[in-house]
Amino acid sequence: MKPWEDPRTPWKTKSAFMSYIRGCLRKAWSTHPVKLAVLKNQRKQVPNPNPRGNKRTVWGFQCPLCDKEDILKNAQVDHINPAGTLADISDIQQFAENLLVVVEEDLRLICKDCNSALAYSDKNNVSFEEAKATKKAISLQKDKVDHEFLEVAGITPASNAKERRQQIIDHLMKHK
């Protein structure tokens, strides 16, 4: 009997159980010694972005995907080869091995924007560049500046949000 099929367990659905397992594995990942070594070994001193800061430099990194330099707080440790999906009990062993059985060369420090775009790219089977453009378009719409962005780019904004998003994506993809 599957855990979500047993009324004595707290999981009402397969999704709830898999979320619990994913959370347990991510908690193990948060203190993984190799992950912590990557954070330590791939960091470097960067100019302090805080104008009122006492130090001229702080710990930071340079994202290998976008070349942006940022403070370490904005870094995420990325698996160069993704851990994969965890949608079924049969996925648990492979996901855990991919997530936790790693060496420093399997990991890299990247910025949150690139990590988000990589996740979107994997999930939606699109290129990294298209994922970045889509995430940017979503952000512009969320901030309610999509009309302004398109007008500044010399594009007449479409009448609905879905078409405006596609206009932004197309524009960004042309001007990478």
Q: Mean pLDDT, the chain, as a whole number? A: 94
Per-residue pLDDT reduced to its tens digit, 133-144: 999 999 999 999
What pLDDT was estimated at residue 4? 94
What confidence tier does 43 reach under pLDDT thresholds 50, 70, 90? very high
Per-residue pLDDT reduced to its tens digit, 59-84: 999 999 999 999 999 999 999 998 88
What sign has the CA pseudo-torsion 43, 47, 48, 54? positive
Tell me the percentage of the chain whose pLDDT exceeds 70: 100
What confidence tier does 175 reach under pLDDT thresholds 50, 70, 90? confident
* Alpha-carbon gap, residue 26 to 43, rounded angstroms: 22
Per-residue pLDDT reduced to its tens digit, 2-36: 999 999 999 999 999 999 999 999 999 999 999 99
Decide if 109 contacts 75 (C-beta within 8 A).
Answer: yes
In sequence order, what are the beta bridge partners of 69? 62
pLDDT mean over 35-64: 95
What pLDDT was estimated at residue 85? 87
* Alpha-carbon gap, residue 147 to 102, rounded angstroms: 45
What confidence tier does 121 reach under pLDDT thresholds 50, 70, 90? very high
